[in-house]
Amino acid sequence: MKTAAQQAPIQRAGEAAGAATGQAKAHDVVLQVRDLAVDIRTHRGTVRAVNSVAFEARAGETLALLGESGCGKSMTAKALAGIMDPVCDLADGEIVLKGTDLAALSAKERLKFAGPELGIVFQDALTALNPVYTVGTQLGEAFRIHRGLNAKQARAEAIDLMKRVGIPEPESRVNSYPHQFSGGMRQRILIAMAVALNPRLLIADEPTTALDVTVQAQIMQLLRKLREEGQMAVILITHDLAVVAEEADSVAVMYAGNVVESGPVSEVFADPRHPYTKGLLESVPVHLERGAKLKSIAGSPPELHDIPAGCVYQSRCPLVQDICRAERPVLRPAAIPSGTEPRPARTAACHFSEEINNV
């Protein structure tokens, strides 16, 4: 196991400030992911579902993981949270949270260390909640396990949490069961469970997909409020570019299990450096100039059994050349971020990232 002292210090100053105040300082790097790879064992052999994934999440900021269905977003989230399906293996990489590499910990060490520091929310709140326990019991669990509170104290904490996430009449509703709440309220309960112990990192995997549009906006507003209150780093998983533009500070664009581009949202969307990002942007109306035509990206992503050598995007790329078929481009610095704030680096995995906006 690598301890904080053995790790290269990612954010020493921030760690010290966080320890003193109980909170991370805005913009401190909370999570750094490097070279993450996840394999799936299938009846047709082992396939790599997540490959060379790298990004960082900062305190008080939202990082969006963006990409089409099947590109490995949820798999990445589950690998970070240590809750992968039994057929999946962490094949490579570092998941450095608060200076400690979670990938190098045993399951037990990881639960003890990361349990209170990392919360995760999924799309489907009904299946994520246990139907046979009251929400009070489920909300109180984290306090009993990690803080050693008794049932009465845990219930009081559960009521406080329900207030924090905007559930009306928490004193009586704490005794209700999940099916007695609306979809939006259930999602609030799931979010409350995820933030119960004031984690440094919250992962939200398509948290509003199953909800009505008006409820979606309320849940996003709640996530923003909680992020600001706790200076949490939030990783927001979505396939929706408008959500990324509205909610996120930085973005990592995924394609066929790989991060193909990352950086501050405003810069990546204004000046994409990967043809896939450019294609995605051209397929949504909000980014079009007047009179321009909506384009969709022809073709579909490769099957996991059939990922080509070379660039993963080659079969759909308008710029493809021989080198793209022969050599997998690695994520490398793509452009200098502007401004003086500490900003995430811009990266792209394309042999022609400097030229894509000239075509």
Ligand X SMILES: Nc1ncnc2c1ncn2[C@@H]1O[C@H](COP(=O)(O)OP(=O)(O)OP(=O)(O)O)[C@@H](O)[C@H]1O
Binding site for ligand X (CB under 6 A): 40, 42, 49, 67, 69-75, 85, 87, 239, 304
Closest CA to 207 of 222, 227, 228: 222
State the binding partner of 287 from ligand X, Mg ion, none, CB within 5 to 8 A by kind. Answer: none
Tokens of 352: 């022609």
Tokens of 55: 């990004």
CB-wise, 49 or 324, nearer to Mg ion? 49
Residues 6 or more apart from 216 whose CB is under 8 A from it? 208
CB-wise, 42 or 175, nearer to ligand X? 42
User: Which 37-76 positions form the footprint of Mg ion (CB under 5 A)?
Assistant: 74
**CA end-to-end distance (rounded Å), the chain:** 48
State the binding partner of 326 from ligand X, Mg ion, none, CB within 5 to 8 A by kind. Answer: none
Taking the CA of residue 144 as centre, how many other CA atoms within 13 Å lie in the half-sphere pointing to its CB? Answer: 13
Dist. CA 180–CA 170, nearest whole Å? 13
Task: Kindly state the smallest distance separating residue 227's Cβ from Mg ion, in Å.
Answer: 21
Task: Kindly state the smallest distance separating residue 127's Cβ from ligand X, in Å.
Answer: 14
The pair phi, psi for residue 154, each rounded to 5°, is -65, -35
State the binding partner of 193 from Mg ion, ligand X, none, CB within 5 to 8 A by kind. Answer: none
Give 31's strand partners: 57, 97
Task: Kindly state the smallest distance separating residue 141's Cβ from ligand X, in Å.
Answer: 26
State the binding partner of 239 from ligand X, Mg ion, none, CB within 5 to 8 A by kind. Answer: ligand X
Q: Would you give the distance in Å from CA 135 to the centre of its chain?
A: 25
State the binding partner of 304 from Mg ion, ligand X, none, CB within 5 to 8 A by kind. Answer: ligand X
Task: Kindly state the smallest distance separating residue 254's Cβ from Mg ion, in Å.
Answer: 11
E-assigned strands of 129-232? 201-205
The one-letter code for the residue type at 264 is: P
CB-wise, 142 or 252, nearer to Mg ion? 252
CB-wise, 74 or 353, nearer to ligand X? 74
Task: Kindly state the smallest distance separating residue 207's Cβ from ligand X, in Å.
Answer: 12
Q: Would you give the distance in Å from CA 350 to the centre of its chain?
A: 23
C-beta of residue 260 within 8 angstroms of C-beta of residue 75 = no
State the binding partner of 72 from Mg ion, ligand X, none, CB within 5 to 8 A by kind. Answer: ligand X
Task: Kindly state the smallest distance separating residue 291's Cβ from ligand X, in Å.
Answer: 32
| Three-state DSSP state, 290 | coil
Task: Kindly state the smallest distance separating residue 13's Cβ from Mg ion, in Å.
Answer: 35
CB-wise, 71 or 102, nearer to ligand X? 71
C-beta of residue 343 within 8 angstroms of C-beta of residue 310 = no
CB-wise, 51 or 74, nearer to Mg ion? 74
CB-wise, 25 or 73, nearer to ligand X? 73
Binding site for Mg ion (CB under 5 A): 74
